[in-house]
Amino acid sequence: MQIRDMQTEVHVARHDPVGRISPNVYGQLSEHLGRCVYGGIWVGEDDGVPTENGIRMDTVELLRDLNTPVLRWPGGCFADDYHWTDGLGPREERPRRRNMWWTQGRDNLPEESNAFGTEEFMDFCEMLGTEPYLAVNVGAGDPDEAVDWAEYCNYDGDTEITRLRAKNGSEEPHNVTYWGVGNENWGCGGRFSPEQYAEQFRRYANYLRGFDRVMADESLELVACGHITDSWNRRFLEHLAECVSFGQGTVYNLLDHLSVHRYHHSGSDTEFTDDQYYRLLARARQVGEDIDRAAEALQLFAPGTDIGIIVDEWGVWHPEAVFDNGLEQENTVRDALSAASVLDDLNKRADVVSMANIAQTVNVLQCLVQTNEDSAWPTPTYRVFDLYKQHMGATALRTVVDTEVRAVKSIGNEFNADSEHEVPLVTASASEQDGQVYVTLSNLHRDDAREITVTVESDGVTIEDAQALFGGLPADLYSTETNAERFTPEEIEAENHGDGTVVVDAPAGSTLGLSVQV
């Protein structure tokens, strides 16, 4: 590895706005997998923790504090073998089905009880004040099933399906905006080629758009499943155009968002070398590159459209998270630092990123909340989301970081064709709202603290708040029920030079939030 010396300065260009940071960038994914839903969100009649309609209120309270904007459900791979009508009606009468992709609960059973279905999910979203994002079954379903679900959720008339909704306790529609047309249909969702998925997408989208135009308020936003490779997305978009259209517009009016997924790891969850520490951070930076390539494909095939990029699955997936343990892993400071880096990259691309969903909400992979039978606690990554939530809905500002760079040599083709990948040892993003500029930055160096100069384009600023996460904590420290408070933020000193320049000392492996009034 090499380190090249550069100054540690962060320049915030107030007069060069990027775009509004959609609150949905801070979304999450909850899948019927391991202890995410069953045990983490839903416990039914279990009186070990306070519940409301079977939903754990300790989990709800933690997620409420994050202002969770959007929640994707029921998957993930599970979505493409899920039939939504199975999760309706009296719980004791719901069919017990296979879960062909994952085992669930402590017993690791590949079975789905359907105790948690559409109405329970909508209850959960209402408790959180969050937008639901539903993924329809393309792999094992059909367009009619998808449209029926949309009718159940969104139609306010009098049909057999809306009467069924009323019978299940919801007289009023749920008004679901976001609909994913399948999930990873290049893999677990059917192993379609790009051309085959284009055929499937336009079938589903045609009928969902028709329903929305005639029976709803034309508010549905459809998400197409993309890939992290250039060729897949380009072949999909090219073939999508090869259909007969009628009326105004082009075939690209069928989609509002194109999604990509990115998981990364290096070493184990709690044991890793210095090389693996920085390699994980290098791999996390690929999320931003995936977005750039997807945006380039859209610009090539659908110029002039406002199709957004969604990263609706992202996060760290360590080797310890396997099928047999419900994809559970320890959640460390290193993982949280990688999340801060990704969120900075998402903020910087506010003009093209319309949503992102970390995987997953509770207990699974890079979760925000962990639970046992009688308590729930936040992970280090939760603390990062909490620190960053001030960016939600604000205007992203162009941010330039001059810092040391760590060069990580490529193993095979992990960084595409590049021989190495550069990791800036300070990452940052900034936003402005109502005269307040909020800067988040991380010192990613594992061992060394550093002085960081933040310059805001202003004659002067007033420092309102400065906080740091993880100062003095080792990178391999992970959250447990008994140590969760160790990851809370601490107030730090920030030196105001009076000319729009603020200097802070960032401990090794720390994430900072700096709020100034301009």
Q: What is the pLDDT of residue 244?
A: 58
**How far is the C-alpha of 34 from the C-alpha of 403, rounded, in Å?**
41
Sites in the chain below the pLDDT cut of 50: 1-6
Contacts of 163 (CB under 8 A, 6+ apart): none
Q: What is the pTM of this model?
A: 0.95
pLDDT of the residue at 3: 41
**What's the pLDDT score for residue 2?**
43
In this prediction, residue 433 carries a pLDDT of 96
Residue 263 identity (one-letter amino acid):
Y
pLDDT of residue 1: 39
Helix (H) or strand (E) holding 236: helix 230-240
| Beta-strand pair 494-496/490-491 | unpaired
Q: What is the pLDDT of residue 498?
A: 87
Q: What confidence score (pLDDT) does residue 7 get?
A: 58
- What is the C-alpha separation between 441 and 173, in angstroms, rounded? 42
Q: Any idea where the domains of the chain sit in the sequence?
A: 12-398
pLDDT value at position 246? 52
> Strand pairing of 178-181 and 221-225?
parallel
| Class of domain 12-398 (CATH, top level) | alpha beta
- Encode 325-358: b = buried (16+ Cβ within 10 Å), e = exposed: ebbbbbbbbbbbbbbbbbbbbbbbbbebbbbbbb
Pairing relationship of beta strands 405-409 and 420-424 according to DSSP bridges: antiparallel
Residues 350 and 18 sit within 8 Å (Cβ to Cβ): yes
Residues forming the active site: 184, 313
pLDDT at 204: 96
Spell 420-458 as b/e; 16+ CB within 10 A means b. ebebbbbbbbbbbeeebbbbbbbbbbbeeebebbbbbeb
Please state, in angstroms and as integers, the Cα–Cα distance from residue 499 to each residue in 93, 494, 502, 518, following that order. Answer: 68, 14, 9, 11
